[in-house]
Amino acid sequence: MTQPQPDPQSDTQWPRWEVFKQDSEKRPYQAVGSVHAGDPDHALLTARNVFVRRPAAVSLWAVREDHILSATPEEVVSHPDVLDTPGEAGAYHIGVKKSHKRSMTFVDLIATVKAGGPGDALRQAQAQHPDALTWVVFADVAIARTDDDAETVESWFAPARDKTYKQQQYYGVIGKHVGELKREGRMPRRTTQEPHVAGHKVYDHPHDQTSEMLRQRAAEVEVKP
């Protein structure tokens, strides 16, 4: 249950806002990360800079962290009262995380429901998607959203389409990417063991590696420009 209670004495950070990005009108909003910002407008502006300079998007939502209720199945078992979390009745958005496959924490927003409060919305999310790894809910009224007029789309989102964009795995992957291993049939479908190549652990994303390991590995690998 990601409801951190910052200590007002020691916490000088601005509030955290979860950012949800829609790649095209036909795609669901996806959680892409978070920004710290002083207010809703500022959150959207920084979110655009951080998450939409390159990849395509048509719309952004920012939701302040204390307006989001989330829980894993394990957390619901250990703290069942999370399903009774009180709050305003109204429209709630439901997001689910269905896979650990990607290193990015994709949570797709997949439904909007009428709920008596965040706890009720979480209960509905659980009923609709019992197999999810995490449920996320927040009220529709909590969303700061980019305008969808032509001018905003043109100045916020259109420039990214003209810029070169490379998926993150293009950069700095040392050794082999797991996708490559999968294509070669060397990646077990289900395993508790991390994939290895020639004695080296293979990671889904270079950031998953510790800097010390990266340094060790860098010495062994020929880097092509």
Partner 1 sequence: MTAPTTSLSEVQQAALIRKLTALADDEIILAQRGGEWTGQAPILEEDIALANIAQDELGHAGLYLELRRALDGTDADTLAFTRSADEYTSARFVELPKGDWAFTMLRQYLYDAYEALWLDAARKSTYGPLAEVASKAFREERFHLQHTALWVERLALGTPESMKRTQDALNALWPYVGQLFQPVAGETELVDAGLLPDLNAVKTRWEGLIVPHLTVQCGLVLPPAGAEQPGRDTHTEDLAPLLLEMQRVAREHPDVLVW
Q: Which residues bind partner 1 (CB under 8 A)?
A: 14, 35-39, 41-42, 45-46, 48-50, 53, 151, 154-156, 158-159, 162
What are the two backbone dihedrals, phi and then psi, of residue 196, each rounded to the nearest 5 degrees? -130, 150
Query: Cβ of residue 74: shortest distance to partner 1, in angstroms?
Result: 31
Neighbours of 35 (CB within 10 A): 21
Query: Cβ of residue 154: shortest distance to partner 1, in angstroms?
Result: 5
Contact 156, 149 (CB under 8 A): no
Contact 110, 95 (CB under 8 A): yes
Residue of 36, 1, 48, 29 lying closest to 154 (CA atoms): 48
Query: 50 vs 89, which CB is nearer to partner 1?
Result: 50
Neighbours of 185 (CB within 10 A): 7
Query: 102 vs 161, which CB is nearer to partner 1?
Result: 161
Query: 45 vs 113, which CB is nearer to partner 1?
Result: 45
Query: Cβ of residue 13: shortest distance to partner 1, in angstroms?
Result: 8
Query: 38 vs 172, which CB is nearer to partner 1?
Result: 38
Cα separation values, 90 from 47, 77, 96, 114, Å? 26, 26, 19, 6
Query: 13 vs 167, which CB is nearer to partner 1?
Result: 13
Amino acid at 147: D
Query: Cβ of residue 4: shortest distance to partner 1, in angstroms?
Result: 18
- The whole-angstrom separation of Cα 186 and Cα 176 is 11
- The whole-angstrom separation of Cα 63 and Cα 67 is 7
Query: What is the DSSP code (8-state) at residue 157?
Result: I
Contacting residues for 53 by C-beta, under 8 A, at least 6 apart: 160, 163
Query: Cβ of residue 19: shortest distance to partner 1, in angstroms?
Result: 10
Query: 34 vs 124, which CB is nearer to partner 1?
Result: 34
Query: Cβ of residue 94: shortest distance to partner 1, in angstroms?
Result: 27
